[in-house]
Amino acid sequence: MAGNPLLEVRNLRVEFPTRRGILTAVDDISLHIDPGEVLGVVGESGAGKSMTGAAIIGLLEPPGRIADGEILLEGRRIDNLPYEQMRRIRGREIGAIFQDPLTSLNPLYSVGEQLVETIQTHTDMSHSQALARAIELLAEVGIPAPERRVEHYPHQFSGGMRQRVVIALALCVNPKLIIADEPTTALDVSIQAQIIALLKRLCREHGTAVMLVTHDMGVIAETADRVAVMYAGRIAEIGPVRQVIQNPKHPYTVGLMGSIPSIDQGDGRLTQIEGAMPRLTAIPQGCAFNPRCTLTMDRCFRERPDLVQVEETRVSCWHHDKELAHA
Amino acid sequence: MLAFIIRRMIQSVVVMFFVALLAFAMFRFVGDPVHQMVGIETSLEEREELRVKLGLRDPIIVQFGRFVGNAATLDFGISYQHQRPVSEMIKERMPATLELSLISALFSLLVGVPMGVYTGLHRQGVLSKVFMTASLIGISLPTFLIGILLIYVFAVILGWLPSFGRGVVVDLGGWRTGLLTTEGLKALIMPAITLGLFQLTLIMRLVRAEMLEVLRTDYIKFARARGLTNRAVNFGHALKNTLVPVITITGLQLGSIIAFAIITETVFQWPGMGLMFLQAIQNVDIPIMAAYLIMIAFFFVAINLVVDMLYYVVDPRLRVDASKAHGHG
């Protein structure tokens, strides 16, 4: 970690009050993102990945709320800002890209109108300046004939092209951080790689940090500098992507890696993690992974493990707890 | 766009043709007009002569052709009861109905849409709950009861507004308007509210439901994530996306307002087409009934044409399908 982190999340807890009690979607998560860094966040559906992203950008859907913890952007707390101040940060300092490019653009406005509107919201540019910038951005995200395409409406673009427009919109006033929530999940496999490559190139060129939320380990391996593996609202393991992939420490990460097909070892069957992630209403006591873990000990059912440093990785598993290892 | 308009025009002509057929059938099946025109002493020969003179002995196709031709030039014949050209009577009565209908439609839109947006945005707000409860009353109370209640409160008890008629009207080249005098406007308030109240509650509930739907969409979430102001998100992005259904319903309702102003016109003794139509029914005055039927059908068709064209203005997806297959990626 060189210098100060761009974004720091400390002990974040996101709760959803419901009629049947409070659901904790994100439970005591701490992580940081350095300037220009790509942090991958992986996990199954419902692990709390998207919730963490939504909490950072201040767009949790009510009744969801940040129950505890802090979020700091360049050392300044942003989780408790009034709506209007947070609005100025959104788009300007933290951008976002959502899962489905087909529905992320307003069908009634041309892409140019949407770009110009966003640019003018955050800068003092005149309409013609903003339009020129919009055309520039469309060219930058690889849309052919941008002068003409700027007048077109979202339905006149294919899915991949729309996601490029979405990326242009997210990057249009050079935010320092982009939260990309499953940016390629809704796209054809052949287009996914293009979009990821584009996102990676643009962020490198602009020095933009990315929090890349996905359940695709392949995308993470290609793109991310570090990766956080989430399970049932908690971080199971977080560390440099190479280490986590080649030498996973948490039994859940081990299972995840085992379930990815590889060209080199074409023979044996893929392993699979037995069972399913617990629902938020029924998270077991102790380590949340204990019903599916093959390595459980007594302690796993009693106490919840904290993150402990193992080499460059931090992992929350009793098997890696130093006291235990030394015992 | 032009091809679309022409296509719709042709459809409209077809609709009008069938309405004319219905109106014409009324003449054929609601008794013999000669009986109503002559006295008891008229001989059979004289009656036969009158039939030939009126063209009633011509083949039906010829008679229908004549009816359509006359209707196209706004000639609907002579009223049995009043012995005056029907078109003249309609011309006198129409401004009253159209002014009442347009004002009440404007009232329901200008009040209903903001209320709908408000209740959509502040679902849990106290004011929203008041609006929603009040709208239930608006939907469930019959029009005539609302009219009578208004008359009782504002005309009888408070004496602020006139209880019947159009007040003072000004003649603008044959169009007698009540919009230019204070008395005329005052006379318009209660009938317009009575007529528009149901539409208002309908529009409010529709806009609310559509807003709730649209506010959940990804593009609204993305618009917020881009840091757009609340105003831009709620009105520029969300409200505009609710417009297509709102335009549809408003168009249909405007037709109904014009057609069913009858009750309101009766309660307020408003000298419009509805009142005329009601009297025509009582007196089996078929030319007026037929003309009214055709006029109302024409309004519906015209409004629907305008509605379809408004879709084009609002929703770009309907505009250019030719260039749809441009993108790749």
pLDDT of residue B206: 92
Select the residue of A88, A107, A162 nearest B317 (Cβ to Cβ).
A107
Residue A31, CA distances (Å) to A230, A319, B133 in order: 11, 22, 48
For residues B189 and B202, the answer to whether their CB atoms sit within 8 Å is no
Does residue B151 sit in the same domain as residue B45? no
pLDDT of residue A38: 92
Is B83 domain-assigned?
no
A177 pLDDT band (50/70/90 cuts)? Answer: very high
Give the alpha-carbon dihedral of B266, B268, B270, B273, to 10 degrees.
-30
Report yes or no: B53 at the A interface, CB cutoff 8 Å: no
Does residue B28 sit in the same domain as residue B125? no
> Which residues of chain A lie closer than 8 angstroms to B221, CB-CB?
59, 98
pLDDT of residue B194: 87
The pLDDT tens digits for B288-324 are 888 888 888 888 898 888 888 888 888 888 775 544 4
Pick the residue of A73, A106, A157, A166 with the most B CBs within 10 A to test the interface with B by mutation: A106
Does residue B49 sit in the same domain as residue B138? no
**If you average pLDDT over residues A213-224, what whole number do you get?**
86
pLDDT top residue among A159 and B325: A159
- The reply to whether residue B227 touches residue A155, judged by beta carbons under 8 angstroms, is no
The rounded distance, in Å, linking the Cα atoms of B245 and B239 is: 11
Report yes or no: B313 at the A interface, CB cutoff 8 Å: no
The pLDDT tens digits for B249-286 are 888 888 888 877 888 888 888 888 888 888 888 877 88
Pick the residue of A78, A93, A104 with the most B CBs within 10 A to test the interface with B by mutation: A104
Q: Half-sphere exposure of A222 toward its Cβ, with a 13 Å CA cutoff?
A: 15
Number of domains in chain B: 2
B72 pLDDT band (50/70/90 cuts)? Answer: confident
pLDDT of residue B175: 77
Does residue B205 sit in the same domain as residue B59? no
Residue B164 has pLDDT above 80, yes or no: no
End-of-domain residue from the set B23, B41, B72: B72
CB atoms within 10 A of CB B5: 13
Does residue B147 sit in the same domain as residue B49? no
pLDDT of residue A263: 65
**If you average pLDDT over residues A143-172, what whole number do you get?**
90
Residue type, A108: L
Does residue B101 sit in the same domain as residue B26? no
Which distant-in-sequence residues (6+ apart) come within 8 Å of B313 by Cβ? none
> Which residues of chain A lie closer than 8 angstroms to B310, CB-CB?
none
pLDDT of residue B48: 82
Residue B140 has pLDDT above 90, yes or no: no
> Which residues of chain A lie closer than 8 angstroms to B228, CB-CB?
87, 91, 117-118, 121
Is B177 domain-assigned?
yes
- Among the residue ranges A110-114, A229-233, B46-50, B189-193, the one predicted with the least confidence is B46-50
A262 pLDDT band (50/70/90 cuts)? Answer: low
Does residue B161 sit in the same domain as residue B61? no
* Containing structural domain, residue B22: 12-72
- Among the residue ranges A141-155, B24-38, B144-158, B287-301, the one predicted with the least confidence is B24-38
* Percentage of chain A modeled with pLDDT above 70: 95
Residue B199, CA distances (Å) to A178, B137, B280 in order: 46, 13, 27
pLDDT of residue A209: 93
Pairing of strands A209-214, A38-42: parallel
pLDDT of residue A265: 61
Minimal-distance CA residue of chain B relative to A97: B222
Is B232 domain-assigned?
yes
A46 conformational bin, left if phi > 0, alpha if psi -120 to 50, beta if neither:
left
B135 three-class SS = helix
Select the residue of B223, B229, B328 nearest A158 (Cβ to Cβ).
B328
The count of CB pairs under 8 A between chains A and B is: 103
> Which residues of chain A lie closer than 8 angstroms to B323, CB-CB?
152, 156
pLDDT of residue B325: 42
- The reply to whether residue A96 touches residue B219, judged by beta carbons under 8 angstroms, is no
Select the residue of B219, B224, B329 nearest A90 (Cβ to Cβ).
B224
A101 Cα to chain B: minimum distance (Å): 9
Classify the complex by whether its ipTM is higher than 0.90, answering yes or no: no
Q: What is the mean pLDDT of chain A?
A: 85
End-of-domain residue from the set B270, B301, B324: B270
Is B289 domain-assigned?
no
For residues B314 and A108, the answer to whether their CB atoms sit within 8 Å is yes
**If you average pLDDT over residues A225-241, what whole number do you get?**
90
Q: Which of residues 64-83 of B touch A (CB under 8 A)?
A: none
Is B133 domain-assigned?
yes
The rounded distance, in Å, linking the Cα atoms of A111 and A153 is: 6
- The reply to whether residue B225 touches residue A191, judged by beta carbons under 8 angstroms, is no
Does residue B133 sit in the same domain as residue B201? yes
pLDDT top residue among A141 and B178: A141
Residue A327 has pLDDT above 50, yes or no: no
Residue B128: CATH number of its domain: 1.10.3720.10
In the block, which residue shows the tokens 């439609």? B105
> Which residues of chain A lie closer than 8 angstroms to B218, CB-CB?
98-100, 103-104
Is B284 domain-assigned?
no
- The reply to whether residue B225 touches residue A157, judged by beta carbons under 8 angstroms, is no
Select the residue of B225, B323, B329 nearest A160 (Cβ to Cβ).
B329
Minimal-distance CA residue of chain A relative to B216: A61
Residue A267 has pLDDT above 70, yes or no: no
Residue A89 has pLDDT above 70, yes or no: yes
For residues B104 and B192, the answer to whether their CB atoms sit within 8 Å is yes
CB atoms within 10 A of CB A302: 12
Quick one: which of B318, B250, B297, B324 has its CA closest to B5? B318
B137 pLDDT band (50/70/90 cuts)? Answer: confident
Does residue B47 sit in the same domain as residue B97? no
The pLDDT tens digits for B17-56 are 899 888 888 777 766 667 766 777 778 888 888 778 777 7
Q: Which of residues 202-241 of B touch A (CB under 8 A)?
A: 217-219, 221-230, 232, 236-237, 240-241
pLDDT of residue A257: 80
pLDDT of residue B329: 37
Select the residue of B237, B324, B329 nearest A106 (Cβ to Cβ).
B237
Which distant-in-sequence residues (6+ apart) come within 8 Å of A159 by Cβ? A101, A102, A186, A187, A188, A191, B329
Does residue B102 sit in the same domain as residue B230? yes
CB atoms within 10 A of CB A183: 30
- Residue B127 exposed, middle or buried by CB count within 10 Å (0-12, 13-18, 19+): exposed
Give the burial string for B151-188 (b: 16+ CB within 10 Å, else e).
beebbeeeeebbbebbbebeeeeeebbbeeeeebebbb
- The reply to whether residue A166 touches residue B222, judged by beta carbons under 8 angstroms, is yes
> Which residues of chain B lie closer than 8 angstroms to A153, CB-CB?
316-317
pLDDT of residue A264: 66
pLDDT of residue B249: 86
> Which residues of chain A lie closer than 8 angstroms to B237, CB-CB?
106, 109
The rounded distance, in Å, linking the Cα atoms of B89 and B273 is: 9
**If you average pLDDT over residues A52-79, what whole number do you get?**
89
Which distant-in-sequence residues (6+ apart) come within 8 Å of A217 by Cβ? A42, A245, A256, A257, A260
Is B307 domain-assigned?
no
**If you average pLDDT over residues A1-9, what whole number do you get?**
78
pLDDT of residue B122: 87
**If you average pLDDT over residues B147-170, what whole number do you get?**
82
Pick the residue of B214, B226, B230 with the most A CBs within 10 A to test the interface with A by mutation: B226
Give the burial string for A232-262 (b: 16+ CB within 10 Å, else e).
bbbbbbbbebebbbeebbbbbbbbbbeeeee
B326 Cα to chain A: minimum distance (Å): 7
> Which residues of chain A lie closer than 8 angstroms to B227, CB-CB?
87-92, 118, 121-122
| Range ranked top by mean pLDDT from A41-55, A165-179, B274-288, B309-323 | A165-179
Does residue B134 sit in the same domain as residue B266? yes
Select the residue of B226, B316, B324 nearest A90 (Cβ to Cβ).
B226
For B232, which DSSP code? I
Q: Half-sphere exposure of A256 toward its Cβ, with a 13 Å CA cutoff?
A: 27
B214 Cα to chain A: minimum distance (Å): 10
Select the residue of B227, B237, B315 nearest A91 (Cβ to Cβ).
B227
**If you average pLDDT over residues B150-174, what whole number do you get?**
80
The rounded distance, in Å, linking the Cα atoms of B143 and B149 is: 10
Does residue B99 sit in the same domain as residue B229? yes
End-of-domain residue from the set B270, B293, B313: B270
Residue type, B301: V
Cis bond before residue A63 (omega within 30° of 0): yes
- The reply to whether residue A95 touches residue B326, judged by beta carbons under 8 angstroms, is no
pLDDT of residue A100: 80
Select the residue of A100, A109, A121 nearest B227 (Cβ to Cβ).
A121
A3 pLDDT band (50/70/90 cuts)? Answer: low
Q: Half-sphere exposure of B24 toward its Cβ, with a 13 Å CA cutoff?
A: 19
Residue B328 has pLDDT above 50, yes or no: no
Q: Tell me the two tokens of residue B162.
A: 């006139």
pLDDT of residue B324: 43
Is B275 domain-assigned?
no
> Which residues of chain A lie closer than 8 angstroms to B229, CB-CB?
87, 121
B320 Cα to chain A: minimum distance (Å): 9
Residue A325 has pLDDT above 70, yes or no: no
- E-strand spans in A75-170? 76-77, 94-97
